[in-house]
Structures are given as C-alpha cells and as structure tokens.
Amino acid sequence: MSGKIGGACLCGKIRYEIKNNFERLFFCHCEQCQKTSGSDYTSNLFGEAGRLTWLTGKDQITRFDYHGRGFTNAFCNLCGSGVPYLNQRGTAIIVRAGSLEGKPLFAYASKIFVGERAQWNEEYAVADSYEKFPI
Ligand SMILES: [Zn+2]
Ligand SMILES: [Zn+2]
C-alpha cells in the first residue's frame, strides 16, 4: 500500500504532494549536481511523470536546463531549495529527497556518476560526528 507524501522548500512558499512509491533513489555524484547543490552529491528520487500535485508556489520555481547532458535543476526563487521537476524528455519526475516531509518508499538505491566524485569527499566517512556545531 502506498499513500501520498508531502514536500516543501525551506521557506515554505512551494509545497507539493506526490505518490510515495518511487522507482529508485539515485545518489548522484556528477559534476553538475556538485555545482547546483554546492556539495558532493544529490539524493534524487525518480518516479513516473504525472504523479505530482503542486499545492502552492509553482510560479516561484526557476528551472535551468543544462543541455549537454540532459541535466536539469529546479529551485525556489526565494530560498534556493531544490524542488521536483520533470526530466527533459518528459518521462520521469525527479524529486529532491531532502525536500520531502517524511520517509520516501522506493524499490532500490544506487550511486551514479561515481567517476566524477569530488576528491574531497573520499575521506568523509571517517570524519568526526556531532549533533550540532562543535563548540
Ligand atoms: Zn522556498
Ligand atoms: Zn547529478
């Protein structure tokens, strides 16, 4: 059984809901994801197109298509959070896993574009952990 799951950007202007039965979760290490996230990878859920409902703020979204690789970024105009978007072929909806308000359900997960992985992230697995900023 799968119900719906909600999602929102950080400022809360953009809200959506979507069927919570994704096909897959990709941890994407590509160079474009590093640029748009400002981090070492993104966590993107893939599902069939046409399963998402925008609740508020759809007109607050900026979409950027990087045509060299069929890469897209979509984000809130106010807070910059990544929000869902349709892939360039219109065949799949891609949801930033961190924008969800709950636990996504998916069939399998994999790391992709690992050959482009940021060299500085190789050692993160052994970094110290803290609940908050260390003082
Ligand atoms: Zn926002
Ligand atoms: Zn990527």
What's the pLDDT tens digit per position in 34-83?
A: 999 999 999 999 998 888 999 999 999 999 999 888 899 999 999 999 99
Cα 135 to middle of ligand 2, angstroms? 34
CA–CA gap between residue 8 and residue 83 (Å, rounded): 8
Cα 119 to middle of ligand 1, angstroms: 30
Model pTM score = 0.90
Residue with tokens 């981090």: 39
Gap between the Cα atoms of 77 and 91, Å rounded: 25
120 CA from centroid of ligand 2 (Å): 17
CATH number of 21-117: 2.170.150.70
Overall average pLDDT of the 103-130 stretch: 88
For residue 35, give the ligand nearest its CA.
2
Give residue 1's pLDDT: 46
Q: Which ligand is nearest to the CA of 76?
A: 1
Contacts 24+ apart (CB under 8 A), 59-67: 60/13, 60/14, 61/14, 61/85, 64/36, 66/32
